[in-house]
Amino acid sequence: MIAIIGDPETAMGFKLAGVKEVYEYPTGGEDDVAHALDKLAKEGVAIIIINERLAAEAKNREKIREINSKKRSVIPIIIEVPDKKGPLEKEVDEIGELIKRAVGVAVK
């Protein structure tokens, strides 16, 4: 199953694309987003797509790292997508870190 966590515009785009599990939050809704991430991970959702700006908020980033460190298999895969304002500059490439952990080699 695929689930989306995003701002209203991102959520609407995925709803129009036919995704049924869509969680819509304004930027700044840290507690709700962290709770949704936890819930989806426990339910066994295979792919969680989250808006970059929501993922960048401190509590959400912590929750994503916690989920990634505790998982025993590949799922859930948490993918961060940019919003209509464009991509964020990142200090750490989260996807690159996951690949490095899974494969044992950094991919550039």
Per run of 10 residues, the mean pLDDT along the chain (length 108 residues) is 91 92 77 88 93 88 90 87 74 66 68
Provide the number of structural domains found in the chain: 1
- What is the predicted pLDDT for the residue at 56? 87
| Angle at the Cα of 89 from the Cα atoms of 31 and 97, rounded to 5 degrees | 75
Q: How many residues does the chain have?
A: 108
Global confidence as pTM:
0.76
- Does 29 map to a domain? yes
Within a domain: 108: no
Domain of 35? 2-103
- For 49, 72, the CA distances from 80, given in Å and listed in that order, are 6, 21
Report the CATH number at residue 88.
3.40.50.10580
Would you say residue 99 lies in a domain? yes
Three-state DSSP class for residue 67: helix
